Structure 1
């Protein structure tokens, strides 16, 4: 992605959400499946096209209350959009299933315990294939496929959203951007890769990422079903089994918790300012036993991307276009025309 931005020339206006979505999908496929799809440079790829089609169709389906959209049978068999959904779903499943079968054969080969396909680590698929329950039973191929699909689908667009809005916030606040750039330059020292030890040194970048996630949470709506009755402060009670909708954005803009909530202020997350704050006041990755399984992966990817981008580029808003407006769907996207920033290479 950074090479593509270099080729565009300094001062170019870029819809960063589109570029970042391809980059995070590329990362996810490499880390979860060990696949090099080159989706950032290739013009077409059946699996990538299926992933994007499924994401778009799922978002549009969620906006409808008609039984034709709510009922799986009616949606897939009666609506053109449902037929497109089934075609894309089957295509994505064929791709995942082929990779699972190929990897299973590799792991069953003698000596595979010490050789991970030219890598020094187990990827997500390896871990799923090796997983056993207390009785020694492993996951079926269908169960593994569902886990892989969830990890890939949920893991790339949410991270792209968090990263896009972080870059936007830094572009709008050049003072904070410059502090992040100096920190990245001190840690990276011209290198193009980060180590685990480097990630813990990106303290100010982490503060800025958290503040951006507060203002523009990638997932703005959480749904839960109560396992037991819940009584509120005013005495009213919701019975067991109630479906509860939680607005993450409202939590993140609660003026009783966050002073001047519309102000971009990364120091809110400094240790001395966070020690007395409820852990449930900030929920970019949800909370509890059903929180985001990939939150640590996502935060590390966000820190790495911000550091590498700011080491090479300066970001400014494209004020010739309308101010970007968040669009709430499965993830926090941006309404047309997009989220454009001017990218200037740092000599």
Structure 2
């Protein structure tokens, strides 16, 4: 027994020495390319610095400090993954646009996922080509009445809230709206979250986005070679994040099966039903024609992606806009005046009318500059070694765009914490570097639903301000506490406001 214990301890010791030796060599990789890097932990690199913890500084702030200390290009090790923060706008233009062929892939986010954001190389291009028509001008115009219907239900809720004078978390209310909108316009599950805020699908998405990184996530980042094994094990066990996702995915599988069996499309005009478009792209006729086809998993995973992307990012953005308008009643009145003039001229908030809400759009853009909803998802992977100036990016290294830091750079935006919608009026926008605003990313792998999101934000904002004023209340926090648990930055404790009828 004693001999066994001695041998076991010796084996552990030798394995630790081997891991340490390999990691010391690995953690010199970025510095060899001329990329300054803070001193890493011998095993986990900088994982503790960039992983959420209630006791620690917000991770976007930590990265911002590195950029201020080391310059606009900083390396760090996300566990075993070498990653480079790039805030140099000219370099970013090359990475995201000019040399996009060398940065076509995102780093692996979810092992074995078939969502568009996780697909790579030609497979990604083929599936993106299938999904892009969902947001064409013609389809967006047809979605407008569906979106307006959801906003009208929200308006009824607003009347109840205003008449009661109660303080409420508008962030939670807007989550219900954005889930209803993406469901009604793309998937047709009939969720009706505004009137049913405890809907099972909505609750599981909330849990997904509010979960802190687990020990399993840390293990996958620390030991990249085990990524597939650990992810598969957790999926089979139904643990952690997979539990919430599985509830949603299984619901989608049932809906897809029902659609196939009845040959229908959920009561929505087929030409604008995104789920039916995914199903059609997996049918036998597509296979016979030689066109790109989707597997069953790709249909379900990308239906899940439509819901996830359309739900959280837009509700974040709308909540930030409402918060800033409540703090700046003069700006809110300018939005009201513009909306009133456009509605009178156009006979309502039509699709064409939304394009004329220039100042309203500037307000939304400035809100997303101060509070970018997505702060850690503009990522790329270097396919081959890449050199720019005095820097060499190793092949398979990850590039991260520090959106929060760029949006809060005083050399780009003087007094960055001051709310100035005029920054995004057409003439002033032209004077800035095209990489200075990256709330939706840019280049070939930018956000697929940019126009859909902006249409929803302007329609919702324009509808509400015609009837109500956003007002601060006793629970409104200034400044607004934020939390970043992963790729998104959220209001930590919600956004508490009241509504006042006009």
Q: Same fold judged by TM-score > 0.5?
A: yes
Q: Distance in 2 between matches of 1:63 and 1:276?
A: 46
Q: Distance in 2 between matches of 1:148 and 1:68?
A: 27
Aligned pairs for 1:234-249 within 5 A: 235-249=390-404
Residue 312 of structure 2 corresponds to 157
Residue 51 of structure 1 corresponds to 205
Instruction: Determine which of 170, 193, 218 is the counterpart of 1:65.
Output: 218
Closer, same or farther: CA 43–155 of 1 in aligned 2, 3 Å: closer
| Per-residue deviation, 1:155 | 1.6
Instruction: Determine which of 259, 275, 286 is the counterpart of 1:103.
Output: 259
Conserved 8 A contact 2:253-2:300: yes
Aligned pairs for 1:19-168 within 5 A: 19-42=173-196, 44-57=198-211, 59-61=212-214, 65-66=218-219, 71-73=230-232, 75=234, 83=239, 85-107=241-263, 117=267, 119=269, 121-131=271-281, 132=286, 135-168=290-323
| Per-residue deviation, 1:75 | 4.4
| Per-residue deviation, 1:192 | 11
Deviations 1:127-160 (A, max 9, x none): 2223348713532221111111011112210000
| Per-residue deviation, 1:74 | 5.6
Alignment partner of 2:413: what SS? coil
Closer, same or farther: CA 140–303 of 1 in aligned 2, 3 Å: same
Further displaced range: 63-72 or 200-209:
63-72
Q: Distance in 2 between matches of 1:100 and 1:295?
A: 26
Q: What is the Cα-based RMSD across aligned positions, in Å?
A: 2.9
Deviations 1:167-216 (A, max 9, x none): 11111111111010112222334999732111111111001001111111
Q: TM-score scaled by structure 1?
A: 0.86
Alignment partner of 2:304: what SS? helix
Q: Distance in 2 between matches of 1:244 and 1:230?
A: 11
Instruction: Determine which of 159, 169, 181 is the counterpart of 1:15.
Output: 169
Further displaced range: 286-295 or 126-135:
126-135
Q: Distance in 2 between matches of 1:190 and 1:203?
A: 15
Q: Which runs of 5+ in 1 are unaligned?
A: none
Q: Distance in 2 between matches of 1:289 and 1:54?
A: 27
Closer, same or farther: CA 228–98 of 1 in aligned 2, 3 Å: same
Conserved 8 A contact 2:193-2:202: yes
| Per-residue deviation, 1:101 | 2.1
Alignment partner of 1:333: what SS? strand
Closer, same or farther: CA 319–117 of 1 in aligned 2, 3 Å: closer
2:256 maps to 1:256:
no
Q: Distance in 1 between matches of 2:365 and 2:445?
A: 20
Instruction: Determine which of 218, 224, 236 is the counterpart of 2:380.
Output: 224
Conserved 8 A contact 1:161-1:331: no
Instruction: Determine which of 471, 491, 495 is the counterpart of 1:334.
Output: 491
Q: Distance in 2 between matches of 1:63 and 1:159?
A: 29
Deviations 1:58-89 (A, max 9, x none): x44399624699732564577xxx63544433
Residue 184 of structure 1 corresponds to 339
Conserved 8 A contact 2:375-2:489: yes
Return the index of the structure with the highest Cα Rg.
Answer: 2
Aligned residues: 334
Q: TM-score scaled by structure 2?
A: 0.61
Alignment partner of 2:483: what SS? strand
Aligned pairs for 1:166-315 within 5 A: 166-189=321-344, 194-221=349-376, 222-233=378-389, 235-315=390-470
